[in-house]
Structure 1
Amino acid sequence: MFLSLAVAGGLAATPAVASADSRADIPQSHPSWASPTAKVADAASSSTVDFRVYLNLRDQSGAEAAAQAVSDPQSRTYRQYLTPDQVRDRFAPSDQTVSAVRNWLTSSGFRIGQVPANRAYVEAKGSTDQVQRAFAVTLGKYAVKGQTLRAADKNLSVPASLAGAVLGVVGVDQATNLFKPNHTDGADTPAAKQDKAAGPATAPPSTGFRNSGPCSAYYGEKVDSTDPAYQGKQLPYAPCGYTPAQLRSAYGLDQAAKLGADGKGTTIAIVDAFASPTIYADASEYAKRNDPAHPLTKAQFSQHIFPANPDQEPPDQCDASGWYGEETLDVEAAHGLAPGADILYVGGADCQDLSLDTALNYVVAGHKADIISNSYGDTGEDIPADEVKAFNQISVQAALEGIGVYFSSGDNGDEVARLGEPSADFSASAPWVTAVGGTSLAVGKDGKRQFETGWETGKSTLTDGAYDPAFPGTFNGGAGGGTSRLFEQPFYQKGIVPDALSTKNQTGGAKGRVVPDISAVADPNTGFLVGQTQTFPDGAYYDQYRIGGTSLASPVFAGVMAVADNLDHVHHGFINPALYQLTSHTSAIKDVQHVDGAVQRVDFANGVDASEGLLTSARVLDYPNLTIHTTKGYDDVTGLGAPDGLAFLLLV
């Protein structure tokens, strides 16, 4: 963890320390997980390493102050956003700085790649041996969270003359391989993964999954009257998957549509890894079947795909087809909530180094979109400082340009089950993004919201006529949340987030950034119907199933904000200051509180048909046995709450 990096509002560019041989360490560039006891092998000396040397802004504190000013409703320069050219001219590294870094990399034998328009980094490529000599480290392979990832044995270093120029280096270690999509179908059987021997160019569609019946068209439509009662109650069957029209109605977007606002004039960028070869066909077929009045036209949809690198060493882990499902969910949910918005999909290059920061920077450097939805994250915050600082710099520029950056808060609840201690997830915990938490949503026959509570699921499986374990079951996934150990409390949370939350995981009276900021539907047991080409026993073809996760909540809320842009005739940019100042004490945000409830869920044992039997379980809503809880007011499961129709769209 990087407590020494925490500053109010974000991360400071920590000065490097020059050593006696005229080199300077890049502080905390060695991942904490790359310990001697975790090392399993040396890195192959001839393997190719692609990396990016990120450069310091000329005025980091000035950039953050300007980003706050254009985002703060109390500022005289509120919404006076900068263009990408203005950001570059005021804050970007100089041409001389770029040249100095390029020259050093070239002299070290590296091939130079891209320098983006905002001069955020210099891209380079070379062998393991070249990297070890240039940065004065030894590269090895380390076991971490079920993966084997490359990392250095100590902090990277650069010539002392470049100490003031270099912010960090991303790609020498493979920490971004720890980022995973935050979606889940909530099935009793683990999701099938792509064959790890298959590269992204040959990845087949993901293994097929279908809902089993019975399930409900809306919440409470069907009640299980044949199985034993759970806690003395016959439970309603889980919804089959909400349609776009149901979610637009539940969140009041149908009212905005009557006023002519459906997201038109706003571009939503979806950032993920890889690229589904069937994405447009799937998304257009989905709209045709489930929302025929709102087709996804070719004019609305575009893609920018970073090509896979043929020089990369074979990946240790690869789940391209899993990312295909993430992309499909994100595109269909964003279009479903804001059918008039344009959708830009930006796909990172590969799973060896997901290059998600490169994809994000592409959108920001050229202001390719007004809203960016990101549905992935780390398990916790154990990401090297290089990646954290680089990401922070990109998100600050997004705020300067009036681009709203949304991140799902995670699907592992408080992370205690995985990490042994509570933790928020990065990148949602970063101060310059909007962290979107998750809810369980009951949409009635009339399309209205019956109730909404925090998404934390307890599962009790029905076996031989009895539920095991008894209420509230075992934790089966839920919205991420909690207090960051990386980031201090940002300006917009002061005086609003309770001290009882902001002081968690802190020492000496410090206060931390608390996640999430806002929330939307995520529970796969009250989830979204999605359509995707999948691989079934009888072939690969399009089919539909219910899905959830905060991967759903992020594009849903991005769609809400696109409609708000359209209705209010303004791009809202970094929305957190307005969320906390303008809506935290009004009816514009629905305060999400605990609701006692559960649904009955029936799944195919094999995921596709009844040939191997059915699995029945009770799914408890808002499972109580975590360190994060849904409460009255701001809480660390749902944040401020959920958007509440026109009142939210007009006030925010």
Structure 2
Amino acid sequence: MRRTPAFLLALTMAGAGMTSLVPSAAAAGQSEIPDSHPVWATPNAKVGTAAAASNVTFRVYLKLADQAGLEAAAAAVSDPTSASYKHFLTADQVRSRFAPTAATVGAVRNWLTSAGFTAGSVPSNNAYIEASGSVDQVQKAFGVQLGEYSVKGKTLRSQDRPLSVPNSVASLVSGIVNIDQATALLKPQHVGAAGDAAPNAVAQPKAASPAVAPPPAAFVNARPCSDYFGQKTDTTDPAYGGKQLPYAVCGYTPGQLRAADQLDVAGRFGLDGRGTTVAIVDAFGSPTLYQDAAEYAKRNDPAHPLKQSQYSQFVYPPTPGSEDPSQCDASGWYGEQSLDVEAVHAMAPAANILYVGGADCSSLDAALNRIVAGNLAQIVSNSYGDQGEDIPADEVKAFESIATQAAAEGIGLYFSSGDSGDESHALPKPSADFSASSPWVTAVGGTSLGIGRDGDKVLETGWSTGKSTLTNGAWAPAAPGKWLYGAGGGTSVLFPEPNYQKGVVPDALAKQNQTGNARGRVVPDISMDADPTTGMLIGLTQTFPDGSVKYGEYRIGGTSLASPLMAGLMAVADQFGGRHGFINPWLYKALSHTPAVTDVKPITGAGEVRVDYANGIDDSNGFVRTVRSFNNPDQTIQTARGYDNVTGLGTPNGLLFLGLI
């Protein structure tokens, strides 16, 4: 979608804590919810009106009884200089001291029912009240008009102005999620299958509803590819930048990934994640998720099967009034789910895995809150995010409430930093991605990782890929190629610089995208392998062109890989050193200048040759040969010595990291 000057001004205002550009139209006796109107819902983007009788299901988030107190408690238990460090609160303690009160729930529920809505479930931490009603009821109760708007290739519902609520409950409501469908813009942060392979690759199958979504379209790795980095060199194609490059890896297996971080050594001493639980949040739920992950482990890591007793899941049923499943691509999320489960199990083969699937892309907040409200895991991996930070501020506030509670309870939230670099190739200006930009989460960036024959790291640099295609006997464009994708990073306009980054993040980075003397939160914090050219082999059930549905394997990457790899590593760290919770303060204060974190440096002239089937499946239509070069320079974020906005502080350094974290 083309961003207007109003979009840029709105982001500037959001960064300064100002309210929406749309004038308030709150009726007498009503108060506006600040910043509750998406900046993309402009008159020029409107393509239709919402049917008055159609149903909308939404969540009314409630203000905490003591937000400042919760933030202070979360900071104290996470700060290594505090006497309360690692003295985490229980879910009951958080609920009794900080959560919205029963009186708050009752008052807002009474208003909702009096307005004609059906008031539904309330989670155990009283974070929100779910409600449903018609478009007409929403418009009357919140003083808005609902329409359909074109944004980022989707058609999404939104209100035309900020929402308003009666003065009697205005002090109790912090925000509303899913009246507008802004959170439908959250997408999985993975690349490397059919969509990246070739222009003629088979299209994804579509479904009428997420409940019957078919398995994703199949993709098959073409040969030649290497079993480990540098195993096979391409001597038949022209040199690239004066060098004959190696063929891309076929996809790293669990044993290779553990060896690269010395978890194979840790495993000999019983350090394999046992006794810990890693939760994974995605949208929807593949009906073959466990079976596929178990089959993958059986084939690629037989000494470490994924036992049924290790795995559990909860998937929310479809939500009436949610976005059209085709807007959220239910089938497309299935590969993300398999990647997440298989990557966590690869790093921590004895850890318990809890998969929680949102009903759609607009209910990921509810899925995350379920884990936090019940303190169901020590670690949560989240491999999704927005393209930029254009989520309405009231919905951001709802997320921050959940993330702060997680920190207070000692739950580490890990979010992929994104796969589109600084977003300058898609947005009018560079941007970090939300939710990774939240100061209460650990943003996991990405590297290009070469794992050698013996499992050692033989190459590692920040993930920023250039692409050149073999055309008429020559590589075009010439080295370093055209920027294709890379680890997300940059400086937030929504969040100021957190205390833990002060003195570590360079001034030049903290001041980017800011006005005056302001300093912003910089992403990412730490990194793991993410480049699909050096990616992980995963397995899942797929739909093949002949209509058959069967299990298959292929290489994949993205910071969607980096996040669960980091989550699995932290499961082993938790087993060894006890629950760590939110690790950023410790990372920046204690580990940033030690060998426990390896500084990732730029590398020039390196890359791999990738061979793909033109149709993504077999050689019937021939092959596409490309070079995927490392460290493409065509963006504002760059890998550098010290902290940088591609890899953050760097990557965990094996046993030293486990010993010092």
Give the residue type in structure 1 aligned to 2:640. T
Q: Which residue in 1 is equivalent to 2:650? A: 641
> SS where residue 299 of structure 1 aligns?
helix
Query: CA–CA distance in 1 between the matches of 2:70 and 2:12?
Result: 22
> SS where residue 426 of structure 2 aligns?
helix
5 Å-filtered alignment, 1:45-56, equals 45-56=52-63
- How far residue 445 of structure 1 moved from its aligned partner, in angstroms, is 0.4
CA contact (8 A) 1:529 1:545 kept: yes
Corresponding position: 1:321 with 2:331? yes
> SS where residue 419 of structure 1 aligns?
coil
Runs of 4+ with deviation above 4 angstroms: 1-7, 16-20, 190-197, 310-316
Give the residue type in structure 1 aligned to 2:319. N
Corresponding position: 1:205 with 2:215? yes
Q: Which residue in 2 is equivalent to 1:595? A: 603
Which of these residues, 546, 550, 554, is aligned with residue 545 of structure 1?
Answer: 554
5 Å-filtered alignment, 1:271-286, equals 271-286=281-296
CA contact (8 A) 2:276 2:574 kept: yes
Q: Which residue in 1 is equivalent to 2:87? A: 80
Q: Which residue in 1 is equivalent to 2:417? A: 409
5 Å-filtered alignment, 1:97-246, equals 97-185=104-192, 186-189=196-199, 194-246=204-256
Query: CA–CA distance in 2 between the matches of 1:158 and 1:316?
Result: 32
- How far residue 282 of structure 1 moved from its aligned partner, in angstroms, is 0.5
Q: Which residue in 2 is equivalent to 1:608? A: 617
- How far residue 472 of structure 1 moved from its aligned partner, in angstroms, is 1.0
Give the residue type in structure 2 aligned to 1:400. A
Give the residue type in structure 1 aligned to 2:365. D
Which of these residues, 432, 435, 460, is aligned with residue 427 of structure 1?
Answer: 435
- How far residue 464 of structure 1 moved from its aligned partner, in angstroms, is 1.0
Q: Which residue in 2 is equivalent to 1:67? A: 74
Which of these residues, 286, 291, 299, is aligned with residue 301 of structure 2?
Answer: 291
Q: Which residue in 2 is equivalent to 1:309? A: 319
CA contact (8 A) 1:93 1:120 kept: yes
CA contact (8 A) 2:56 2:320 kept: no
Which of these residues, 433, 436, 448, is aligned with residue 440 of structure 1?
Answer: 448
CA contact (8 A) 1:47 1:312 kept: no
Query: CA–CA distance in 1 between the matches of 2:322 and 2:535?
Result: 37
Corresponding position: 1:58 with 2:41? no
- What does the per-residue CA deviation read over 1:175-207, in whole Å, with 9 as the maximum and x for residues that have no partner? 011011001114233876544452111111100
Query: CA–CA distance in 2 between the matches of 1:190 and 1:125?
Result: 43
Which of these residues, 544, 564, 571, is aligned with residue 562 of structure 1?
Answer: 571
CA contact (8 A) 1:502 1:512 kept: yes
- How far residue 496 of structure 1 moved from its aligned partner, in angstroms, is 0.6
Aligned pairs, number: 644
Query: CA–CA distance in 1 between the matches of 2:189 and 2:26?
Result: 42
5 Å-filtered alignment, 1:83-98, equals 83-98=90-105
- How far residue 350 of structure 1 moved from its aligned partner, in angstroms, is 2.3
Shifted more, 234-243 versus 195-204: the winner is 195-204
Q: Which residue in 1 is equivalent to 2:49? A: 42
CA contact (8 A) 1:194 1:318 kept: no
Corresponding position: 1:458 with 2:458? no
Corresponding position: 1:474 with 2:485? no
Query: CA–CA distance in 2 between the matches of 1:199 and 1:650?
Result: 48
- What does the per-residue CA deviation read over 1:332-383, in whole Å, with 9 as the maximum and x for residues that have no partner? 00001100100000000024xx300000000000011110000000000000
Query: CA–CA distance in 2 between the matches of 1:24 and 1:582?
Result: 46
- How far residue 311 of structure 1 moved from its aligned partner, in angstroms, is 5.8
Q: Which residue in 1 is equivalent to 2:342? A: 332
CA contact (8 A) 2:206 2:214 kept: no
Give the residue type in structure 2 aligned to 1:602. V
CA contact (8 A) 1:283 1:296 kept: yes
Change (3 A) 1:147 1:191: farther
Q: Which residue in 2 is equivalent to 1:572? A: 580
> SS where residue 64 of structure 1 aligns?
helix
CA contact (8 A) 2:77 2:87 kept: yes
- How far residue 567 of structure 1 moved from its aligned partner, in angstroms, is 1.4
CA contact (8 A) 1:48 1:313 kept: no
5 Å-filtered alignment, 1:482-521, equals 482-521=490-529
CA contact (8 A) 1:189 1:607 kept: no
Change (3 A) 1:5 1:32: closer
- How far residue 255 of structure 1 moved from its aligned partner, in angstroms, is 2.0
- How far residue 227 of structure 1 moved from its aligned partner, in angstroms, is 0.7
Q: Which residue in 2 is equivalent to 1:347? A: 357
- How far residue 305 of structure 1 moved from its aligned partner, in angstroms, is 0.7
Which of these residues, 369, 389, 397, is aligned with residue 397 of structure 2?
Answer: 389
CA contact (8 A) 1:411 1:478 kept: yes
Superposition TM-score, scaled by structure 2 size: 0.95
Query: CA–CA distance in 1 between the matches of 2:427 and 2:488?
Result: 13
Q: Which residue in 2 is equivalent to 1:259? A: 269
> SS where residue 400 of structure 2 aligns?
helix
- What does the per-residue CA deviation read over 1:415-462, in whole Å, with 9 as the maximum and x for residues that have no partner? 011102100000000110000000000000010001210000000000
Of all paired residues, the percent bearing the same amino acid is 63
> SS where residue 418 of structure 1 aligns?
coil
Query: CA–CA distance in 1 between the matches of 2:231 and 2:534?
Result: 13
> SS where residue 586 of structure 1 aligns?
coil
CA contact (8 A) 1:244 1:291 kept: yes
> SS where residue 116 of structure 1 aligns?
coil
Query: CA–CA distance in 2 between the matches of 1:6 and 1:77?
Result: 32
> SS where residue 269 of structure 1 aligns?
strand
- What does the per-residue CA deviation read over 1:238-290, in whole Å, with 9 as the maximum and x for residues that have no partner? 01000011010101111211221100111000000000011111100100000
Q: Which residue in 1 is equivalent to 2:6? A: none
Shifted more, 254-263 versus 141-150: the winner is 254-263
Query: CA–CA distance in 2 between the matches of 1:145 and 1:650?
Result: 44
Query: CA–CA distance in 1 between the matches of 2:522 and 2:300?
Result: 37
Q: Which residue in 2 is equivalent to 1:651? A: 660
- How far residue 46 of structure 1 moved from its aligned partner, in angstroms, is 0.8
Change (3 A) 1:192 1:119: farther
CA contact (8 A) 1:286 1:530 kept: yes
Change (3 A) 1:101 1:572: same
Query: CA–CA distance in 2 between the matches of 1:158 and 1:310?
Result: 23
